[in-house]
Structures are given as structure tokens and as C-alpha cells.
Structure 1
Amino acid sequence: MVLLTGASGYVGGRLLLELEKRGERIRCLARRPELLAPRVGSSTEVVGGDVSDPSSLRSAMAGVHTAFYLVHAMDAHGDFARRDREAAACFGSAAREAAVRRIVYLGGLGRGADLSEHLASRQEVGRVLAESGVPIIELRASVIIGSGSLSFEMVRALVERLPVMVTPRWVSTRTQPIAVEDVIAYLVAALESAEAEAGVFEIGGADVVSYQEIMREYARQRGLRRWLIPVPVLTPRLSSRWLRLITPLHAAVGRALIDGVRNETVVADDRAVRTLDVRPIGFSEAIARALRNEDRAFAETRWCDAIGDRPSEATGRLGTRIVDSRSIEIPRSPEEAFAPIRRIGGRTGWYHGDALWRIRGTLDLLVGGPGLRRGRRDPDALRRGDALDFWRVEAFEPPHLLRLVAEMRLPGRAWLQFEVEPTATGARIRQTAIFDPRGLFGLLYWYALFPLHRVIFTGMLRAIAAAALRGPSSVKFPEPPVSNGARL
């Protein structure tokens, strides 16, 4: 049995999927087991508890041969180093009492006496776990590249939102960024390797670069022109305040990240590559893979599942994409609810604000786009790849899904998705608009037009529901209320 902590986190969630794929028997320790349980496989056990609670750890450790310790505080309030130290001591003690054979811990890479407070704390946690007497493999990772990684999201937000960046000294700090897939590979190797002896293993990618080079490469792959102007006067405190204004990162997290990036995170000992048989990729491919993974995750997302019955549960974002979702329930079968959706566009129109749609089409023609003149191939039938006014059918799975990708001129990429799912009393129609803004102008475009989009899309969904209600049934129902989702 493998014990996994931090399974709801960025790395832990990915490791969970990989371990399940490999058929490992897994037990996840979670403070909120009711939130994690729906996300795990049928053979994975989820138990409630906390790494600082000895009683919950005793039961969680029963029958465990390897325990993954993937938790760490990122807040800057209170004595977080003491809390992390005490939690690690508690975890190590429980592992020793349960005769656990190995602890695998993911820490942070860095050398020297001038480590940031958070980085020093992460390395201290590794030492405390080792003092328990249980053999520990401590993987000290450099910056992790992948959608959801705090460091990657910081870089992404800066590059996406600022055409010109006045950059502090830390952008020239050397680092050895590693793809999240390679981090997972190292964690799995630490579990499976019989040759790996206890100790510290430094892990990084194939390239040693600066944060400035990471920013430039991300901008290149996103097709963004960016100018970086270095200045020597921005202190970590000023930089964290600047991040708070520009990025969605919480202020405390931003300060912790800025404090950490002043330290070089370059592998000095290649023991990990020699012992654990992982061949990391370079940072350019890591960024490309992160962006491809986002596209795949987006294509596979069903917003009915992701958002659930209560729209307030929506996150509002998937990577760089902004999500605006709303739903409506009607007393009709999914087939009846989907009927107006499959006829949308062309001579049928867009159910609400058709004059505004025509104006948008005319503007699109003036700037070289297709406008609305293409109409649709057939007024009643759709298939994947069909042109539909200034959209194209990207996915069509009647009576459950229609996803349109925009071909109009935009400062970014846009999709409009309709989903229908059965409910106890009929069907729920979910309409989701997704926009992937290209740089600062793309963000300004979205927020400037959001009030108008809200009126149009809300009216469209109500009209689609009304059209479905008028279908073959002679019973007239009042127009139901629309439930709005999160919008960022």
C-alpha cells in the first residue's frame, strides 16, 4: 500500500493518476476527503486526516510500505516554518511506528546560506523527515513547468498581460526548469527503484536558463511580442506588490515566490539522473507540452461535470482561458432540449440579439474575417467541420454536445459550447463561452464587451429553452430563470 499526501494539489493530483494507471494500491490522506473522493479511481482509498494529527496518521499508515510527503505551506502569515517542521516530525514518527519502508519527499532545490525563508523551510522539512529514522528519498526540484505550477503561472501572467515589462534583478537568476511530467517520473522512480539509497536527489530539466529566457520563450510560443527592460532597484517587497497588481496570485504566495527566485536553482549533483533513470526534457519542450496539455484538457472538458449543479463551484479559468458559463433546466428530454441547438445559426439565427450578431458580422467582414455570409450547409443537420456563420463546428455529439470555435477576427481564440444532460425532471442546458485572450489587448477586449456578451448569451439561452418548450408538446411553460456561472 502506498500513502499519498497532497493528492488534491498540483503535483499530487498528477502523481495519483500515474499511480492509478500503474495499478498501485493507494491510500490518500486528505483534510477534506469528501472533496477528493469523487476524483479518485474505484480502487483508491481516501481517508480523512492531517499530517499534523498523530491519531489520523496512525490509521492512515497501517499497512503502508511507501509514504509520499507532498505538502508544504505557501502562506507568509504566522510561523509557517514551525508548523511545517512540527508536521514533518509528526509524519516521520508515525511512519517509523508503522514500519514504513520509505518516505518520498518533494522539496526545493537551492544551495548556500542565503536561501529564502520558504526554500530553507522546505529543506528543513527533508532533514526532519530523515531524523525519524525511516529511509527517505528527498527530491529537490527546480522550477516546475506545467499548467497550474505557481512559478509557471507567475511567468505566464506577466507575459500575457504586459507588453513591456520593467524587470527586477531576479529575472536574470539562473534556474533549471523541469517539466511536471519529469517530476512525476522521478517520483515514480523513487517508489519503484530498488537501487536508490536514501538521501537527497537534485532534479532539474535539460537546460540551465534565466527567468528572462523562460519569459521570452513563453512569449514566442504564444506569438506575443514582449519587451523586457531590466532595472536594478525593484526589491522583493516591491516586486511582490507589483505581482499582486498584475497577476491573479495571492499576495502572500507572490511574496513567497519572489523571495525564492532570487536563489539559483541549478543541479550540482547528477545522482538523480544516474540512479533513477529519468531523462528530462528541455525547457522549450516543457512549455510547449504544458500548452498542448491545456488544449487537450480543454477539448476533453465537459462543463456540466466541471461546474456541477451549483454554478458557484466554477473556477472561471482553464489555463489562459476565461470561462463564462450559465445553465437552465426545462421539463423536456435531452433530445427535445438539443433540437434548437442543432439548428442554430444560418437562417435560424442566434435566438437573441440577431441585429447585434449582424453588426458583428459586418465588422468582421471589414477587417478581413468571414462575417455571417457563409451561413450553414444544412438548416437541420450538422457535422463536425461544418462552417456556421463565423464559427466552425469543432465537436458535435447529439443530443449532448455542440462546440463551436470562432473564425472571426479576434485578439485571441474563442469557443461557444452547448451541453445537454438529463435531470430528474427533464434536461439541463449549459451554455459556456470560452475566450483565450492574446495578451493585454485580448483581456481588455473580453472585459470591455463582457456586459454586452452577458445580455446576449443570457437571452440566447432563455430563447433556446423557450424554443425547446414549444417543440412537439402543446403545453406552454413559463420561461425559466437562467443560472449564471462564474465569470472572471
Structure 2
Amino acid sequence: MAETQQTKRPKIALTGASGYIGRNLMNKLTEHADVIALSRNGDKYDNTEHVEWRSCDVFSMADAEKALKGADYAFYLVHSMMPSAKLTQGTFEDMDIILADNFAQAAKKNGVKQIVYLSGLMPEAKQLSRHLKSRLEVEKVLSAYGVPVTTIRAGLIVGPQGSSFPILQRLVKRLPYMILPKWTNTKTQPIALPDVLNALDKSVGNESVFGKAIDVGGPEVLTYKIMMKQTAEVLNKERKFYNVPFFTVKLSRLWVSLTTQTPKEMVYPLIESLVHPMVVSKERVVEGISNGTITFKEAALNSIREEEQKMKEQEEKNKQQGSNPPKPQKPEVEANVRSVQRVPMPDGKTAQWVAQHYVEWLPGLFNPFLRAKCDDPSSCELYPKFGKTPLLILSLSEERSTKDRALYYITGGAFAKTKDGNRGRLEFRHIPGTNECIVAIHDYMPSLPWFVYQYTQARMHIWVMFSYKKHLERYIKRENKKEETTVSSSEARA
């Protein structure tokens, strides 16, 4: 960390503290700072002298605000590629927007001095992959509320866990004959995990890099083909490599997912990004931060050795526990629904307008089967046309809403479980710097059995949101035509 005039240890909030990068970074930070370790299940960990664990669901702005209380600086190591709800509808790009917006607003409210964000290298390309486009969009949202953001942009990070390198390692380990699509000749600048941790550590509290995007990379520029060959050498495996020009990116991502047994939610966005050269830009180099010193082969060897050592330790632990060691636990997935969609927002309108317009529009879509009762702006009830029992009751949270965010809690109705502390909510949120709005359902517990819900109400919701998006697009076209007609009439009179 940069030198400061503070006599006491700074307090640093660390998202993803139980993850691969977060765990390693926390060990480095505690040498000179106190860490607020944030995780969805933070209450499962014990506090130590310099680490305070806090449970935090960053999809909740209220949670994010509580989690960042007392923090001087904050690390943002969050992505949403893997679903965290039992049923997740929507793209990771749209979910990442909500996470970043919640975090940025919470940082502003708590007086955080700097956000350090780990992102990806950005190639000079007209059309970025979904993953890289999302990373860049998150960077802009994090910066939208005035808190200085330092973005550390890294390519393939070489370490024993994480995402990219373990996939590469499993490919080489499992396939004696390797077909090499065109993208394996793309140049990239891998970086070892210790070099990434050094860049992150040296950036936090360093005012000279506030508001900057910094590229970081190792000492070599390689192709994926060369990295595969070097990985095979480290593994002491004899491998045959064959170039194939017909292997498309779509086919490659399916092949990689099946071969490595890695979820498609993780593999697909990463493989799509491999068509871009991922090399450090000279314009975004900062001395002492950008330049990694560990070669790819050395980093791969260290990574594989560390992984083998952990496997040996686990085997010894299993022997001590007897012949029936516990099965590895799958990541916890909450038994609820999260659905996130992006819709256009007319010029001059707000998220509050989009929310009110949605409630007014919805009964017309289902006419004559549905009606809405919204006499009070703070409450809206949806009924079957001739029924007396509401299907859903939405209650506006005036305290948590602004012109850029309308938040409704799902407080009742035949379609929802609202007991036992369930906090289902529907929100409409303006994406900063755009004419777009996110419409999201969080922590919704349907009253229907899961099997029935997935094939009825869940699919109906996706259709409704698609229809609302098309409705807004038509609305915007009509308004633009009106404006053009008005301008033409004014010019004619002039």
C-alpha cells in the first residue's frame, strides 16, 4: 500500500473475501491494514485481530451500505457469472450493473475514499466481447457517484484456482491430442497471482492513481498455443497439437465446457473474450504497479505445485476422518428467484416514471384477465379481473426510492410467500449515463411449487418483460416522431 500520513491502520473493505483472489489479497492487506471481509456467508467465519467478517448480499443496497460502514477504502472483486438464486433469469451483464451501482452508492454514502476494481485488459476493438464490455460498463458505474476509482486491468491470471488458468490446465491434463482453433494464436500477456496482488496492494490509498485505469501484465507476451505447450512441459505430459481453422468460438466454448467440466456460465464469456489480443497498453502503464516479474512457466509451476500440495493435505485429512470422508459441498444457492432485465428509458423520464408506467400498462396486456388497483401511489395490487384476492401486493419504499430508483417490496398476494422474513422486492433502476433502466426482482419466493412455477409464472414473467421492452421502444419512436413533427411545423411557420 502507498505510504500515508495516517498513524492508525486504515480499514479496507474487501468484497469476495472468501473467493480465490480475495483470500490471497486479505493475507497481504492484513500486514498493514484492518480488513472488513465481505461475503454472502460472512457469519460462518471467525473474526481475527485484523479481520472482521460481515455478511453482505451486494444485490441489496441496504446490505451494501451496512457492509461498508467504517471503511476508508474498498476493493471491488465482484462478478455475477455464477447464479446465486435457485432460479436466475437475465444476463450476467445486467446483474453486474445492479451490483456495481449498489456498491458505488454505498461507498459514496459511507465516505469511502477510493474503490479499487479488478477488471480485464481492454483491447482496441470496435466490438468487445460480452465479458469485456460488461467489465468496462461496471467501471463506469463504479465511477458515477464521485468516489475515485482505480481500475487494475489484468488478462489471464495464473494461480491454482480462479477461472482461466485452471481451465487451461485441465484441457492440457485431460487431452493427449489437442485441436487448436484460430483463437489459440491470439496474443495475451498473462500475469502471476503474486504480481496481481502486488498491483492491488500498491494502488489502495495511493492518491496518484485515483481515477486511473492501469494495465498490468507479466514479462512475456504469448499465445494460448504457447501457454498450452508450456503447461504440458510443466505437467510433464507429451501432447500433440493440431491447428484447425473451422473451429468457431461457439463450438470452442461448448468443447471447453464439456472437456473441463466447468459450468457454461463461467466458460462461455471467457472463451468469447479470447478472440481479442489481451496485451498491456503503454498508455496505461504505471511504474511499480504494471510490470509483473514472474514468467508464465514459473507461475504455472508454482500454481500446480501448490494445488498438488493442497490435494495431499486433503488426502491426509480424509484418511484421518476414516473411509467415508465428507463429500465436497456445492456452492450454496438460495431457494428464491432473481430476474433482471434491461429496458429503454424515454428521454426526460426517470426510473420512477418507468415503474408507474409499467403498473399502468400491465393490466392492458392481460385484458380482460387482470386488473390493477393503484389508488395510493405507495401501493399497488394486481387482481384477477373478477376476483377479490390479490395476486401480488407491491408496496413502495419511499425511504429507499429516488427519482433514479423505484423500490417496491412484495408484501402479499396469492403468488408470493411473504412470511418468515422473506424480503422479495421489485425495483426499477436508471443505469447512470444511459437512457436505459434495469427492472429486477430479488429474493422472490413463489407460492407455487417450483416445478409448476418454472414452467408457468417464471416463463410468463420473461414474456411480460419482453413485451414491456417492445412497448417502450414503440413509445420512444412515437415521441420522437411527435418531436420531429413539432420541429418541422415550427420551421414551416418561421
TM-score (norm 2): 0.59
For the 8 Å contact 1:193–1:276, the answer to whether it is kept is no
SS in 1 for 2:139: helix
1:61 is aligned to 2:68:
yes
1:86-125 matches, cutoff 5 A: 86-111=98-123, 112-125=125-138
Deviation string 1:37-75 (CA, Å, 9 cap, x unpaired) is 14x644311111222212112222222110000011224
| Equivalence for 1:33 | 42
Distance change in 2, residues 1:3/1:16 (3 Å): same
Distance 1:267 1:307 in 2: 47
Match of 1:24 among 33, 37, 40: 33
Distance 1:18 1:41 in 2: 15
Distance 1:306 1:241 in 2: 37
Shift of residue 312, structure 1, vs aligned partner = 3.4
| Equivalence for 2:223 | 210
Distance 1:277 1:163 in 2: 36
1:70 is aligned to 2:77:
yes
Match of 2:22 among 4, 12, 19: 12
Shift of residue 79, structure 1, vs aligned partner = 2.2
Distance change in 2, residues 1:177/1:271 (3 Å): same
| Equivalence for 1:225 | 238
Give structure 2 stretches of 5+ with no counterpart: 1-10, 84-88, 331-494
Distance 2:267 2:286 in 1: 31
For the 8 Å contact 1:176–1:204, the answer to whether it is kept is yes
Distance 1:241 1:277 in 2: 34
Deviation string 1:310-342 (CA, Å, 9 cap, x unpaired) is 9434369xxxxxxxxxxxxxxxxxxxxxxxxxx
Amino acid at match of 1:136: V
Between the two proteins, what is the percent identity of the paired residues?
Answer: 33
Distance 1:307 1:87 in 2: 42
| Equivalence for 1:238 | 251
1:179 is aligned to 2:189:
no
Deviation string 1:445-476 (CA, Å, 9 cap, x unpaired) is xxxxxxxxxxxxxxxxxxxxxxxxxxxxxxxx
**Cα root mean square deviation, aligned:** 2.5
Distance change in 2, residues 1:177/1:54 (3 Å): same
The answer to which of 217-226 and 191-200 deviates more is 191-200
Match of 1:44 among 42, 51, 69: 51
Deviation string 1:222-278 (CA, Å, 9 cap, x unpaired) is 111111111111112211221233112112222122111111110013644415375
Distance 2:75 2:327 in 1: 29
Distance change in 2, residues 1:48/1:98 (3 Å): same
Shift of residue 98, structure 1, vs aligned partner = 1.0
Distance change in 2, residues 1:120/1:294 (3 Å): same
Distance 2:216 2:320 in 1: 36
For the 8 Å contact 1:61–1:95, the answer to whether it is kept is yes
Distance 1:89 1:308 in 2: 45
Distance 2:328 2:91 in 1: 32
Distance 2:43 2:76 in 1: 21
Distance 2:320 2:291 in 1: 37
1:249-268 matches, cutoff 5 A: 249-268=262-281
Shift of residue 298, structure 1, vs aligned partner = 4.5
The answer to which of 177-186 and 108-117 deviates more is 108-117
Number of aligned positions between the proteins: 313
Amino acid at match of 1:240: R
Shift of residue 130, structure 1, vs aligned partner = 1.0
1:199 is aligned to 2:212:
yes
For the 8 Å contact 2:157–2:165, the answer to whether it is kept is yes
Deviation string 1:3-22 (CA, Å, 9 cap, x unpaired) is 000112111111112112x1
Distance change in 2, residues 1:269/1:278 (3 Å): closer
Distance 1:196 1:85 in 2: 24
Amino acid at match of 1:54: M
Shift of residue 27, structure 1, vs aligned partner = 0.7
Shift of residue 194, structure 1, vs aligned partner = 4.2
Amino acid at match of 1:48: S
SS in 2 for 1:262: coil
| Equivalence for 1:312 | 326
Shift of residue 95, structure 1, vs aligned partner = 0.6
Distance 2:207 2:265 in 1: 40
Shift of residue 136, structure 1, vs aligned partner = 0.6
Distance 2:36 2:13 in 1: 5
| Equivalence for 1:147 | 160
Distance 1:4 1:277 in 2: 21
Distance 1:23 1:305 in 2: 36
Shift of residue 212, structure 1, vs aligned partner = 0.4
TM-score (norm 1): 0.60
For the 8 Å contact 1:240–1:255, the answer to whether it is kept is yes
SS in 2 for 1:195: helix
Shift of residue 114, structure 1, vs aligned partner = 1.9
SS in 2 for 1:276: coil
Deviation string 1:357-394 (CA, Å, 9 cap, x unpaired) is xxxxxxxxxxxxxxxxxxxxxxxxxxxxxxxxxxxxxx
Amino acid at match of 1:225: E
Amino acid at match of 2:304: L
Distance change in 2, residues 1:279/1:145 (3 Å): closer
Amino acid at match of 1:8: S
Distance change in 2, residues 1:24/1:86 (3 Å): same
Distance 1:205 1:23 in 2: 25
Distance change in 2, residues 1:239/1:185 (3 Å): same
Distance change in 2, residues 1:162/1:43 (3 Å): same
Deviation string 1:419-439 (CA, Å, 9 cap, x unpaired) is xxxxxxxxxxxxxxxxxxxxx
Shift of residue 307, structure 1, vs aligned partner = 10
Shift of residue 195, structure 1, vs aligned partner = 3.0
